[in-house]
Amino acid sequence: MNEDAPSARFPGYDVLAKWDSPSFDGITRNTLAARLDDVPPRRWLTQDEWDLLDAINARLLPQPDRAQPIPITPWIDAMLHDDRGEGYRHPDMPPLRAAWRQGLAAVDDEARRLHDRPFVRLDADAQDAVLHALEGGRAVSPGWQGLDAKRFFIHHLLKTAAGFYYAHPLAWNEIGFGGPANPRGYVRLGFDSRDPWEAKEAR
């Protein structure tokens, strides 16, 4: 278990303790090892875009209790490098890469217009204020032309960051996730029931 970020909801639970148990097979272990150890390098974002997105992710999903935060920005960069989306896009949004490039630039312009500084140079409260403005549909930057700021915030920034965060095995401890159903499977599927190898929630 990542001891610098214990789960108050599932105390003592460590999904990786199942590594050599029937819960994981070779395919699962290889997939988890890649997620844990093979963090992608920067390949698509510019360094400034990377730093900006890293700062945004630090406010969307703060990790103050982790000595080593779960990486989010590298996996978004890998997604963009591979041009790999969800298989659809909203009709009023640009293609994936174009939306991210325009959206990140617009977030930074939003910060400059609201606080006269780039986003990465704002304190946490000011950064949150910028993101709340986007979430609330109060964007003012002309950089959003052709790109809905609220939709970019929710569907690109927030959902993507959360998706990659909770795809990381160390985040599974926080929510009591037992890992992939293959090969062991889950049997007790009734309300408020759990299999013996699942996490026990604190009451």
Q: Which tens digits make up the pLDDT trace of 45-80?
A: 999 999 999 999 999 999 998 989 999 999 999 999
Amino acid at 99: A
> Predicted confidence band at 5 (pLDDT cuts at 50, 70, 90)?
low
Any residues with CB less than 8 A from the CB of 188 and at least 6 apart, and which? 194, 195
Model pLDDT, residue 3? 42
Write the DSSP string, the chain: --TTS--SSSTT--GGGGTTSTT--HHHHHHHHHHHH-PPPP-SS-HHHHHHHHHHHHHHS--TT-SSPPP-HHHHHHHHHTT---S---TTS--HHHHHHHHHHHHHHHHHHHHSS-GGGS-HHHHHHHHHHHHTT----GGGTTS-HHHIIIIIIIHHHHHHHTTSHHHHHHHT----STTT-----STT---TTSPPPP-
**For the chain, percent of residues with pLDDT exceeding 70:** 97
